[in-house]
Structure 1
Amino acid sequence: MSGCIKNRYDFVVYFDVENGNPNGDPDAGNMPRVDPETGYGLVTDVCLKRKIRNYVETVKEGEPGFEIYIKDGVPLNTSDFRAFEELNVDPKDVKKLKKDDPQLDLKLRDFMCRAFYDVRTFGAVMTTFMKNGLNCGQVRGPVQLTFARSVDPIIPQEVTITRVAITTEADAEKKGTEMGRKYVVPYALYRCEGFVSANLARKTTGFSDDDLSLLWEAIINMFEHDHSAARGKMAVRSLVVFKHDSELGNAPSYKLFDAVSVKRKEGIEYPRSFADYGDVEVDESVCGDGVELIRML
């Protein structure tokens, strides 16, 4: 594996949805998430990280160093215990072990970073396994994402559906179909912003250049292996990356983000496809002085 990244990165992702629910809100009957004051659609960072995790798990299945810590059906403590086994640590002897090796907590944390890609990338809270005070620590990851927000306000639609498969035999004697509902967004283009800290990668997780390349690949393809009827047609449309030539960066993130924009074409009131928008534009005057623009997509 290559060494830790040496450069800070800031990036902007545009993705869209057509006739689907990109991120249901459990507090609102699984309706698409909406900012109630403005009507703009929202997709949580947790949702997007799940897509990235799923992609990495798919393409790196069984490869050492690319396991996923937060995954369906695997308790966190089960993964935590992997570190104890690796270092031959018996939780019953934690007081003696910590006295003999003051760096034990760091060794447990470092193993988790080496073994699990999402810990190395996004960080994790691994303090739930606390027998006699022993745990794998808390890691702040070098890669962070914001909530995605739609470029224009959205109007979710509630669609009534029917099915011929009746739930119970008693109901089957009374009716031939059952009714249901699903929510869709006819079309929306979303924007997410992200940060990659070389400083945290060096100090904490060891996030490497190879990990970074995999991150860009996963972002670009995060919907390609995650299609479902509920989410409709989703695709990443643009990935704009700003590479700083130093570990701590050469320009404020907000100035770089403000330089990236996309607008509806003239005469389009209700966008129904990505073609209804113009190109993703970048004001390249923010570059230079140690900042390089890279259009990944």
Structure 2
Amino acid sequence: MTTLANRYDIVFLFEVTNGNPNGDPDAGNLPRIDPETNHGLVTDVSLKRKIRNYVELAKGAEPGYRIYVQEGSILNERHREAYKAKRPGDAKVDKEKKLNPQSDDEARAVTGFMCENFFDVRTFGAVMSTGINAGQVRGPVQLAFASSVEPIMPMEITITRMAATTEKEKADRDKEDGEGRTENRTMGRKYIVPYGLYRAHIFVNASLAGRTGFSEADMQLLFEALANMFEHDRSAARGEMTARKIIAFKHGSTLGNAPAHRLFDAVKVLRSVDGDSYDPASRRLDNLPPPRRFADYEVAIDRAAIPDQVEVLEIL
């Protein structure tokens, strides 16, 4: 495969409707939020999980596209596979609880095996020095937290369940209250964001791609995953999540031709109301109706601010 030769900086826009895009377990699974601005947050870890899940679905067990960080997997056993490949016939490899490379060449070979066989290792990197030492990899693809374009208003929704869990619970609920009524429902709560448009920035370092073997084909698979990962991640808790825009800046060189922030600043997400556009970052929107769909926004690219050496790719 052809190793990636061009740096990329990517703006990724996605939306949630009546769902919780990324609950915070330390806050009762409330949607993550910046307490100072009330802008919603989605962690990089959450987005990487969805990318991994899509690649696993799309590629299955195809060589070179296995997933390292996988539900139920034992990471040290993944590392042991690398030692088995590099030390064929060595019985100790199957038994030892700790393994370390015997030379610098073997260290590079073991780490290289992990990059070659696991898509997420050569993409995002990994710390693989957990007992059976397969080294550390700094991945070429890094994601920042996604933040909602505007403040969000999380809602707490009360839900009920008609069925009981145990005989005792059913008996307790069937007891009459003082007015002769029975309560036969179990109460619960869930949290939703009525609507939120989120923006994430993604950085692809071509110099690091050369070290891990991240290829042009891997880059295209990453774009495919971003565009389709929500289609295969449906759940009642997450509501409707949809990828809306992928705007990639392809640099004309390995090191890049412009600072990432300058390119990101060229992409404006504006509120669109009755044909007029408003910048949420510079104008208060208190008197405007709350956004409830992607059509309430307009995405504008200031192409004059982008150097000639940088190509703008609208993937979605």
State the TM bucket, normalised to the shorter chain.
over 0.9
Identical positions, percent: 55
Report what 1:24 is aligned to: 23
Aligned-residue offset at 1:72:
0.6
Could you say what secondary structure the match of 1:224 adopts? helix
Aligned-residue offset at 1:154:
0.4
Aligned pair partner of 2:113 in 85, 105, 111: 111
Report what 2:277 is aligned to: none
The 8 Å contact of residues 17 and 233 in structure 1, kept in 2 or not, is answered as: yes
* Deviations 1:172-196 (CA, angstroms, capped at 9, x unpaired): 1122221100000000000000110
Superposition pairs of residues 174-193 of structure 1, within 5 angstroms: 174-175=172-173, 176-193=184-201
Rounded Cα–Cα distance in structure 2 between residues aligned with 1:181 and 1:76: 35
Structure 2 residue 290 is the aligned partner of structure 1 residue 286:
no
Structure 2 residue 124 is the aligned partner of structure 1 residue 126:
no
Could you say what secondary structure the match of 1:174 adopts? helix
Aligned-residue offset at 1:165:
2.3
Aligned-residue offset at 1:3:
1.5
Report what 2:236 is aligned to: 229
The 8 Å contact of residues 80 and 129 in structure 1, kept in 2 or not, is answered as: no
* Deviations 1:186-215 (CA, angstroms, capped at 9, x unpaired): 00000000110110011x210000000000
Rounded Cα–Cα distance in structure 2 between residues aligned with 1:269 and 1:141: 42
Report what 1:201 is aligned to: 209
Rounded Cα–Cα distance in structure 1 between residues aligned with 2:194 and 2:134: 44
Letter in 2 for 1:48: L
Structure 2 residue 217 is the aligned partner of structure 1 residue 210:
yes
Query: In terms of Rg, which structure is larger?
Result: 2
Aligned-residue offset at 1:94:
6.0
Superposition pairs of residues 75-114 of structure 1, within 5 angstroms: 75-88=74-87, 90-91=92-93, 98=102, 101-114=103-116
Report what 2:289 is aligned to: 269
* Deviations 1:209-248 (CA, angstroms, capped at 9, x unpaired): 0000000000011101000000000000000000001000
Instruction: Provide the TM-score with structure 2 as the length reference.
Output: 0.88
Aligned-residue offset at 1:102:
3.1
Rounded Cα–Cα distance in structure 2 between residues aligned with 1:94 and 1:255: 46
Structure 2 residue 39 is the aligned partner of structure 1 residue 40:
yes
The 8 Å contact of residues 266 and 306 in structure 2, kept in 1 or not, is answered as: no
Rounded Cα–Cα distance in structure 1 between residues aligned with 2:50 and 2:172: 42
The 8 Å contact of residues 257 and 307 in structure 2, kept in 1 or not, is answered as: no
Could you say what secondary structure the match of 2:271 adopts? coil
Rounded Cα–Cα distance in structure 2 between residues aligned with 1:147 and 1:82: 33
Unaligned runs of 5+ in 1: none
Structure 2 residue 91 is the aligned partner of structure 1 residue 71:
no
Aligned-residue offset at 1:275:
1.3
Aligned-residue offset at 1:289:
3.2
The 8 Å contact of residues 31 and 191 in structure 2, kept in 1 or not, is answered as: yes
Taking a change above 3 Å as real, the CA distance of residues 94 and 28 of structure 1, as seen in their structure-2 partners, is closer
Instruction: Provide the TM-score with structure 1 as the length reference.
Output: 0.93
- Cα RMSD for the two superposed structures: 1.5
Rounded Cα–Cα distance in structure 2 between residues aligned with 1:295 and 1:137: 37
Report what 1:5 is aligned to: 4
Letter in 2 for 1:194: I
Report what 2:61 is aligned to: 62
**Count of residue pairs brought into register by the alignment:** 287
Letter in 2 for 1:190: Y
Rounded Cα–Cα distance in structure 2 between residues aligned with 1:251 and 1:243: 10
Rounded Cα–Cα distance in structure 2 between residues aligned with 1:43 and 1:265: 24
Letter in 2 for 1:144: Q
